[in-house]
Structure 1
């Protein structure tokens, strides 16, 4: 059986971050894992009790003038880039890793190998409360994702997507 290893407490030491711009606000309860692969631009706000998991293989970048709401889970597996002037609502989940199917059916899924896919949220996007964004997705610039949506496919710029799975319902051009 696989042995689990702790990634540490996630306590913040800004000196260990890959990079950290000016005026970065990290509210109480924010935890940052693999800080060496976490990069914040200028004027970034991260709400209380948010988990920022840089990943040992990939980078997690949050662009300048971006706002991350409380209780979010941002996982950098596969690489995560959030563009400038973007807003991520409370309780949003972003995760680029998934278990690969087709292994030994008698083995626990939690031990199956992982596939990592990048996630890119381009500049000036708005992600609604409780949305989930999965690996391999690009959300085009100036787009909006509705509250509670589950984004499994890329969205073009200036679009609005809602639902489970999320579907583009209109263009904002």
Structure 2
């Protein structure tokens, strides 16, 4: 494993594994047994729990909370102030961390409840609370999060938006 680029005030346990070209911004806490894949970036003030696996080329933005045991695939984007929770009935000893599959997009201020899987290429809109699994290539929004549009509709809107820029 490689040495990451670390910002000010980063606290990382001794047995954290970093891939190549990892960037950790300021005041991040990374707990024991966590692995962060190549080319991933963790924003300021994030809290990464124990035994978390973060894939390659992930972007986890500021103030995100990733609870113990979470699994995050490759090319995942998690916007600021999002939380991946692992304890359905705190303070229990039975943890059920979420899984975020490859290429998923998690909007700002999202809460993902314990045991949830967000499927490959899925999109969770900002401010949503995810209480049920999100199938692959599905776009959800709301409290609780529900299907909002097809993945193809989302990609078309994204393309139109980007082309205006």
Report the TM-score, using the length of structure 2 for normalisation: 0.81
1:149 equivalent in alignment to 2:149: no
Do the aligned partners of residues 10 and 48 (structure 1) sit closer, same or farther apart at CA in structure 2, a change above 3 Å counting?
Answer: closer
2:63 counterpart residue number: 71
Q: CA deviation at 1:32?
A: 1.4
**Bigger RCO of structures 1 and 2 (CA < 8 A, at least 6 apart):** 1
Gaps spanning 5+ residues in structure 1: where?
Answer: 1-8, 100-109
Q: CA deviation at 1:140?
A: 0.8
RMSD of aligned alpha carbons: 1.8
Question: Match of 1:169, SS?
Answer: strand
Report the TM-score, using the length of structure 1 for normalisation: 0.78
Which structure dedicates a bigger proportion of its chain to strand?
Answer: 1
Deviations 1:27-83 (A, max 9, x none): 0110112x2x201110010000111111xxxx311000000000111112xx21111
1:25 equivalent in alignment to 2:17: no
Deviations 1:58-113 (A, max 9, x none): x311000000000111112xx211110010000101111122xxxxxxxxxx6x53
1:109-128 alignment, distance < 5 Å: 112-128=91-107
- For residues 131 and 155 of structure 1, what CA distance do their matches in structure 2 show? 13
Gaps spanning 5+ residues in structure 2: where?
Answer: 1-8, 153-165
Runs of at least 4 residues off by over 2 Å: 112-115
Q: CA deviation at 1:10?
A: 7.4
Q: Is this contact kept in 1: 2:38–2:57, CA < 8 A?
A: yes
Q: CA deviation at 1:119?
A: 1.1
2:80 counterpart residue number: 90
Q: Quick one: which of 32, 38, 63 aligns to 2:34?
A: 38
1:62 counterpart residue number: 54
